Amino acid sequence: MKLNINNLSKSYQEKEVLKDITISFEEGKIYGLVGRNGAGKTTFFNCLNEDIKIDFGMINLEDELGNHPLTYNDIGYVTSIPIVPEFLTGKEFLTFYLDINKDKIKDRKEIEEYFSLVKLTKEDQDVLLKDYSTGMKNKMQMLINIISNPKVLLLDEPLTSLDILVQEDMKKLLKTIKQDHIIILSTHILELAIDLCDEIIVLNNKKMEKIEKSNLNTKKYKDKIINMLKDDKNVE
């Protein structure tokens, strides 16, 4: 499975954010998207998720159905600030979600099993989501997004607000599910990107570039990325 982006451009009135981007993402890999504030990472995700219209370009998914335009049905999108329907309990939200997506979910498991996947206890399940901590909401959002098995999983700063232990749980979870997904994760924490991701992509000067690690050690790889981001001509 492959996600192919060809000549993608997006502007907000006279401000060009993404310019003629051509890039491919493959199944089984976690991609780390790094860029300076305002570089266009969230815009890129919003373009893929059809939240905003693109100005030009093609976004296609190559899978068992052939090469077809990517639609929001193929995507799971985890936003940086977890937003969940606060009037439902965790269990009610999951029950509702499983009902709605019953045709899409293969090997449906028991509700308890799903909760144990993100380590939410039995007591937590019957609490209103409004009374969940940010970390718990984040886990819930992540769970909902991976259950229906979307082909492409977009994660916008997913681990920033989590405590260290939850972060580790989430990293393990992502590594487990990456085999069947294309995962793109945006982050400002370079260490996290290097530690978790199989490939790093820098978004700078409206362009995207994969940074090859080749024979570099972690320190040199990190410096290479920072130098790319520092490059003055890359900043508007």
Partner 1 sequence: MWNSLKYSLEIELIYIMNSFIYSLRKLPIFRDLFTNDIYKNTISKKIIGFFGIVFWYLRNLFLKFLYFYIIYYVSIKAFQNTSKDTFIHIYFFLTIIGIYTHNYLINPNKKKYFSLILMNIDATSYLRANLIGNQIKILLENSILLFVFSYLLKVSYPITILLIIFSFFARLIGEAGLILFYKKYHYMWYSNSKYYVLIVGTCLLLTLLPTINIYLNHRILLIGTILSGILGTLSFLYLFQIKDYKMMMKEIFHMTNPMNTKNNNEYLKQAMIEVREKDKKIDSKKLQGKVGYDYLNTIFYERHKEILIRSAKRYSLILIGIYGLVIYFICNHLYIKTIKDVLNIHILYLPLLMYFINRGSIMTQAMFYNCDHALLRYNFYRESDALLGLFKKRLFMIIKVNLLPAIVIGIGNILVYYFMNRLDLIIINILLIFFLTIFFSVHYLVMYYLLQPYNKNMEMKSIPYLFVSFITYFISFIIPQTGLSFYPLTILVVLFTILYLIISLYLIHKLAPSTFKMH
Tell me the window of 8-16, 59-67, 177-185, 209-217 that interacts with partner 1 (CB under 8 A): 8-16
Q: How many residues are recorded in the chain?
A: 236
SS3 state at 102:
coil
Q: Check residue 76 for interaction with partner 1 (CB under 8 A).
A: yes
Q: Is the CB of residue 25 less than 8 Å from the CB of residue 154?
A: no
What does the block give as tokens for 139?
């886990």
SS3 state at 7:
strand
Q: Smallest gap, in angstroms, from Cβ of residue 1 to partner 1?
A: 18
Q: Check residue 136 for interaction with partner 1 (CB under 8 A).
A: no
Distance, CA of 159 to CA of 67 (rounded, Å): 32
Q: Check residue 72 for interaction with partner 1 (CB under 8 A).
A: yes
Please, what sign has the CA dihedral across residues 63, 65, 67, 68? negative
Q: Which of 22, 24, 67, 95: binder of partner 1 (CB under 8 A)?
A: 95
Q: Check residue 123 for interaction with partner 1 (CB under 8 A).
A: no
Q: Check residue 100 for interaction with partner 1 (CB under 8 A).
A: yes
Q: Check residue 83 for interaction with partner 1 (CB under 8 A).
A: yes
Distance, CA of 131 to CA of 53 (rounded, Å): 35
Angle at 40 between CA 35 and CA 44, to 5 degrees: 110
Q: Check residue 92 for interaction with partner 1 (CB under 8 A).
A: yes
Q: Check residue 69 for interaction with partner 1 (CB under 8 A).
A: no
Q: Smallest gap, in angstroms, from Cβ of residue 222 to partner 1?
A: 33
Binders of partner 1 in range 35-54 (CB under 8 A): 49, 51
Distance, CA of 20 to CA of 170 (rounded, Å): 33
Binding site for partner 1 (CB under 8 A): 13-15, 49, 51, 72-73, 75-77, 79, 83-88, 92, 95-97, 99-101, 128, 130, 144-145, 148, 150
